[in-house]
Structure 1
Amino acid sequence: MNETRQNETRQPAATMRAARVHAYGGPAVIRHEEVPVPVPAPGEVLVEVAATSFNPSELALRAGLLRQVLPLDLPYVPGWDLAGTVVATGERVIGRLDSGGAAAPYVSVAPDLLVPAPRSLPLAAAAAIPVAGLTAWQALFEAAGIGRGSRILINGAGGGVGAFAVQLARWAGATVVATASPRSAPAVRRYGAQRVIDHTAGPLRAALEGEPLDAVLNLAPLGPAAAAALPALLGPGGVAVSVATPIPGGIHLVARRDTGQLSRLVALVDAGDLEVAPAAVRPLADLADVHAEAEAGTLVRGKTILVPDASRRASL
């Protein structure tokens, strides 16, 4: 109890360097600033952040394109994916923070947003799981309803969600056909896709040789014509799901936080059924550059992990 009181008296004076957005705009609005270490409110815990990760949806969030549905409380600290250690207990945890906050050395969160991190994985790498893993799980099992014997096309499988989607579909016993660039194809095959189609090679219908699908999962930004062509690949009763460009007549998925599902993903990782392999690990100070590279199309495909500068952590 005395130690807790000492920490409470020291925390307001301690500072950390966090990424913050003060106004909507381009990548340059992301600033790295000295701010107080958060003091947990009643019912919250302080988490030392091992890493967060970049999600493409954060581009639209930062630019203000989602302000009608997801307005930011400015100044805003990005970071939906969290992997870290609860300061008071030493427990390694991961979580999805829908209000952001993980792009900093410390964040204060409600403990019911967190689940134990995988034991078999470096803690920073586990920051790749929450948003991308939950998106893949909900798209496959809730929206598309795939299972053993299903045949699914995962369009745009080379990214962070695609890595989870391919593996989870194979774990469920589905046959997986995936589209990916030549650069991403080896990883997509390693994750379990039985067939990988070069998305630049021509119409998908011809590449699929007329074999009907039970589900299509779209993870790629598409033009109207390409999006409209996807439902034609389905067999009777087939389902089209997209987490990117909406598909006419299909389901447009907006993934949600679910700690039960997140715990199942962790269990699959620890059982060796789900590989987590971030594409890049970069310092949090690179966050604005990561946004700029993503907008320019030069960011490496897959999950980019962002690690706070340990030398700038407060001494608690």
Structure 2
Amino acid sequence: MTMMKSARIHEFGDASVIRYDDVPYPRPDFGEVLIRVAANSFNPTEAALRAGLLEAFLPVDLPYTLGWDVAGTVTEVGAGAEGFAVGDRVIGRLDGGGAAAEYVRAPASMLTAAPKSIPLTHAAALPVAGLTAWQAVFEHGKVATGQRVLVNGAGGGVGGFVTQLARYAGAEVIATAGPRSTEAVLQQGADHVIDYTARPVSTALDSPVDVLLNLVPVSSQDAVALVPLVRQGGRIVSITTLIEPPLDAGVSAMHMVARNDIADLRVLVELVDAGTVSVDISSSRPLSGLADVHNLSQAGRTRGKVLIIP
């Protein structure tokens, strides 16, 4: 039986529980294709899953192969799988994981053609972070031309896409970022950057914004301090901490979880190929270095998107 390498957890815990196992080469089921993985990209939420913090609403069976983002080449098409042929370059979000491996099987319905204008490995950065950003900006934030938007946490993988999409929507973009990320955030279209390491975000604005897109975990005290930064009638969308404004603040707020929407992903691919959206890759690591990436992320030492190359 042909074997391949995969990064799996057999128990929950710190990054040391990640094991690099030899597992049987997968075969596609009905409606699936087999993908030779060019890259998958790391998402900080995967560290929370590995630690067992998501069991209540995202239970997984152990052993579990990590990796939600995939970019690769179709090597086999299963019965009932439509729209793809051997040799096609594809990307997708795999809600069941499995992309941190040399090969992965995936439902054809959850894949789309990879962007043609960037390396296939770089395209792995797009699905999870891109979908989260698209839905935060357009579906929930309803960002429109002429609005002022505050992106809290623009230096992360999602933040880069949020900044670009808010700019694409025609908004004035104010972004928070540390010194390591400032230049990249400006290149992605931010009009102003607030160095959150130099002063509190809550004291840095001269007038309120229409929309606050919060991409970083904040304490309850800091969450309360963010609310006055939004004008009455404005919106707060958070992908991390639930921010609850007082009733008299006149601000609507929601916590969002991005859904896997292939139509949205296709639009993002079109924007990448049009040169409207760029993909910021900060580094690449081999599959055998995935545990190191988890540790670096939890120490706050990653920026942009990190690729994992099998």
Q: TM-score range by the shorter chain?
A: over 0.9
| More strand as a share of residues | 2
**TM-score using structure 1 length:** 0.91
Alignment of 1:99-178 (within 5 A): 99-178=96-175
Name the CA distance, whole Å, in 2 between partners of 1:203 and 1:57.
Answer: 25
From 292, 296, 299, give the equivalent of 1:289: 292
Q: Name the aligned partner's letter for residue 116 of structure 1.
A: A
Identical-residue share of aligned pairs (%)? 55
Q: Name the aligned partner's letter for residue 76 of structure 1.
A: Y
What is the match of residue 19 of structure 1?
Answer: 7
Shift of 1:59: 1.1
Alignment of 1:114-263 (within 5 A): 114-209=111-206, 211-249=207-245, 250-263=253-266
Q: CA offsets, 1:50-103, max 9 Å, x none?
A: 000110001110111110111111110000000011113100000001110000
Q: Name the aligned partner's letter for residue 261 of structure 1.
A: D
Name the CA distance, whole Å, in 1 between partners of 2:231 and 2:300.
Answer: 34
Unaligned runs of 5+ in 1: 1-12, 309-316
What is the match of residue 303 of structure 1?
Answer: 305
SS of equivalent to 2:38: strand
Structure 1 position 38 matched with structure 2 position 26: yes
User: Does structure 2 conserve the Cα–Cα contact (< 8 Å) formed by 1:21 and 1:31?
Assistant: yes
Q: Name the aligned partner's letter for residue 82 of structure 1.
A: V
Is the alpha carbon distance of 1:25 and 1:205 closer, same or farther for their aligned partners in structure 2, counting shifts above 3 Å?
A: closer
| More helix as a share of residues | 1
Aligned residues: 294
Shift of 1:297: 2.5
Shift of 1:182: 1.4
Shift of 1:222: 1.2
Q: Name the aligned partner's letter for residue 141 of structure 1.
A: F
From 253, 265, 273, give the equivalent of 2:268: 265
Unaligned runs of 5+ in 2: 77-85, 246-252
Name the CA distance, whole Å, in 1 between partners of 2:30 and 2:126.
Answer: 28
Shift of 1:296: 2.4
Name the CA distance, whole Å, in 2 between partners of 1:206 and 1:56.
Answer: 28
SS of equivalent to 2:265: helix
Is the alpha carbon distance of 1:238 and 1:41 closer, same or farther for their aligned partners in structure 2, counting shifts above 3 Å?
A: same
Q: Name the aligned partner's letter for residue 90 of structure 1.
A: G
> Where has structure 1 moved over 6 Å in runs of 4 or more?
none
* Aligned alpha-carbon RMSD (Å): 1.0
